[in-house]
Amino acid sequence: MRTSSSGMASNRIERPTELTADRLELLLRHLAPDPGEAAERYTRLCRRLSAFFSWERCSDADRLTDEVIDRVARRLADGEVISNLPSYVLGVARYVASEARARRDREARALTELGRREPAERTHDEAALACLDGCLSRLDSERRQQLLTYYSSDLSARIAERKRLAESLDVKPVALRNRMLRLRQRLETCVNRCLDGASRDTSSLGATQNEKLEGDIGANGV
Amino acid sequence: MRPRSSGGRSTDDRQVTDYLLGRLAAPDRALLEERFFADDDFADRMFEREDDLLDELAAGTLGPADERALVDRLLSTPEGARRAAFARALHQWRQRQPVVAPVPHTLSAPRARGGSRTLPQWLAAAAMVTLATAAGWLGIDNARLRQQLRVTPTTAPPVTEATVPRDSSGMEPRIFAVTLGAERARSSSVRAVVELDASVEVLRLSLLVQDAAEMFDATVETSPGGRLVSRHVGLLKSPAGTVDLWIATNQIANGEYEALLSVDRGGRAALVAQYVFRVVGRDGSRLP
């Protein structure tokens, strides 16, 4: 039911979802009366949840996000009155995170071992760089330049650079931040899908293959 | 209005940083999380700070303690590791870009600058010298390695296989994936033809290997000429028995190329396989 919300390519374990269309609609109505605004709030909520689980060091943040959404939607369908939805969602998320904690610790140990394999990391970096090169080339030059200015390599100068950029574009810093966050998120999604497509390829040698990656970086995308 | 400390830095920002590094005390952490879920603007600031921390990690400008904390907090999940990889790629990409004079940030001005990969003259000259030196060294090195290959020829089948890109309406970069078998000798008549159209931006070479080694180094160079195109180190063999290289297509033009795969044997590089392929423009739009 939910499309990727975290800015990362969806790489989660598929499982049957309990989120029916009726429940989702109920949740959306609870988020906002206007369908467009509700969709926007839903996307933001999912991204927050995904980030929260990541900060809690839970693997498979997207799946856990689904879990929270499922549970909250079910409560609403059961007729529970929720006056403060963000706070309620956070409470459920904390509970789900605690459930996942034991598994998280186990996986963290495995990942630490994996992280020591530096050559593999270098290989991954080369692939990521090639993918990034391709993704950036899909951006028009103005937005690419804005993004690179906003995330300038001179980290100490970023605050001043961002302020100047907002002034030159005649937008408020908050609006510029929102725009750049979304652009970076799309760029990350683009790179991750590029990498995902590549890893799928290696498992099916012998067949002719080509990757058609769904578009997240578009000329008018943000 | 954000509360500000005497040092001019936002108290919120400091708290956000502490939270992301896992240093915020439990009561403050709970309050901050409540605000993160309730306040859109605050949530965006947290996302932005997270990006900045990852970029600082990629640039190597975080202090050791912060670096440890960030790795522990954010990089212990696959998602976090991928985000860090993205930040490293972004940093490396920036490092690769030529230094240009700043231009005003306007909606139209960056046209003259954006998308241009042309090097300033002095930088291009310096790069050519560096490249020529590297290519010369590698030429000698590869000649030695080729001699080894003749002594211990690979048994990999001289099979080549190229893919043809299908039409894509997507806006993401197009990857052209090619699987190559090794050749026994340079004179082999079997040449993989990699037919690229102008829309392909990333070429992935999957090199079939039969050598028992798990880790390889690879060099891609023009043939003849031996001009270095790219060098890849520490490549791991995939479960499918291939070693995969990634090359941005703006690094290659029409022509013949060789990919040389070597392994470390007791401190010495030993060439284990050689792959020859030809790049041609599908629609004549690529560089001649």
- Provide the percentage of residues in chain A whose pLDDT is more than 70: 70
* pLDDT tens string B160-205: 444 434 334 344 567 777 788 776 444 445 567 788 777 777 788 8
- ipTM value of the model? 0.72
Three-state secondary structure call for residue B160: strand
Contacts of A177 in chain B (CB under 8 A): 44-45, 48
- CA atoms in the 13 A half-sphere facing the CB of B108: 0
Q: From CA A32, how far away is CA A39, in angstroms rounded?
A: 8
**Cα B248 versus chain centre, distance:** 8
CB contact under 8 A, B107 and A142: yes
Q: From CA A157, how far away is CA A168, in angstroms rounded?
A: 16
Contacts of B19 in chain A (CB under 8 A): 55
Residue A91 distance to chain B (closest CA, Å): 9
Residue B122 distance to chain A (closest CA, Å): 22
Tell me, what DSSP letter sits at residue B10? B
Tell me the count of A-B CB pairs closer than 8 A. Answer: 269
pLDDT for residue B223? 79
Contacts of B215 in chain A (CB under 8 A): 119
Which residue shows structure tokens 């269309």? A21
Which residue shows structure tokens 């999604």? A189
Q: Is the pLDDT of residue B53 over 50?
A: yes
CB contact under 8 A, B240 and A202: yes
CB contact under 8 A, A89 and B37: yes
Query: Quick one: residue A12, left, alpha or beta (phi over 0 = left, psi -120 to 50 = alpha)?
Result: beta
Cis amide leading into B224 (omega within 30): yes
Q: From CA B117, how far away is CA A173, in angstroms rounded?
A: 29
CB contact under 8 A, A153 and B95: yes
- Of residues B48, B171, B215, nearest to A217 (C-beta): B171
The C-alpha angle with vertex B263 and arms to B186 and B163, in degrees rounded to 5, equals: 55
What's the start-to-end Cα distance of chain A, in Å? 23
Contacts of B111 in chain A (CB under 8 A): 141-142
- Per the CB < 8 A criterion, the answer to whether B242 and B208 are in contact is yes
Name B171's bridge partners.
Answer: none
Contacts of A180 in chain B (CB under 8 A): 48
Contacts of B102 (CB under 8 A, 6+ apart): none
Q: From CA B277, how far away is CA B133, in angstroms rounded?
A: 24
Q: From CA A138, how far away is CA B244, in angstroms rounded?
A: 24
Contacts of A110 (CB under 8 A, 6+ apart): none
Mutate to test the interface with A, among B34, B37, B230 (most CBs of A within 10 A): B37
Q: Please return the burial class of A98, using the count of CB atoms within 10 Å of its CB with bins 0-12, 13-18 and 19+.
A: exposed
* pLDDT tens string B124-142: 333 333 333 333 333 334 4
Query: Which phi and psi (to 5°) does residue A190 adopt?
Result: -60, -45
pLDDT for residue A207? 26
CB contact under 8 A, B85 and A128: yes
Name B195's bridge partners.
Answer: B280
CB contact under 8 A, A127 and B246: yes
Residue A153 distance to chain B (closest CA, Å): 7
* pLDDT tens string A84-132: 999 999 999 999 999 887 766 666 666 555 544 444 455 567 788 888 8
CB contact under 8 A, A210 and B177: yes
Q: Using alpha carbons, select from B80, B82, B90, B81 the residue that is nearest to residue B59.
A: B90
Query: Quick one: residue A161, left, alpha or beta (phi over 0 = left, psi -120 to 50 = alpha)?
Result: alpha
pLDDT for residue B190? 57
Whether this prediction's pTM lies above 0.90 is answered by no
Contacts of A109 (CB under 8 A, 6+ apart): none
Residue A58 distance to chain B (closest CA, Å): 7
- Per the CB < 8 A criterion, the answer to whether B115 and A133 are in contact is no
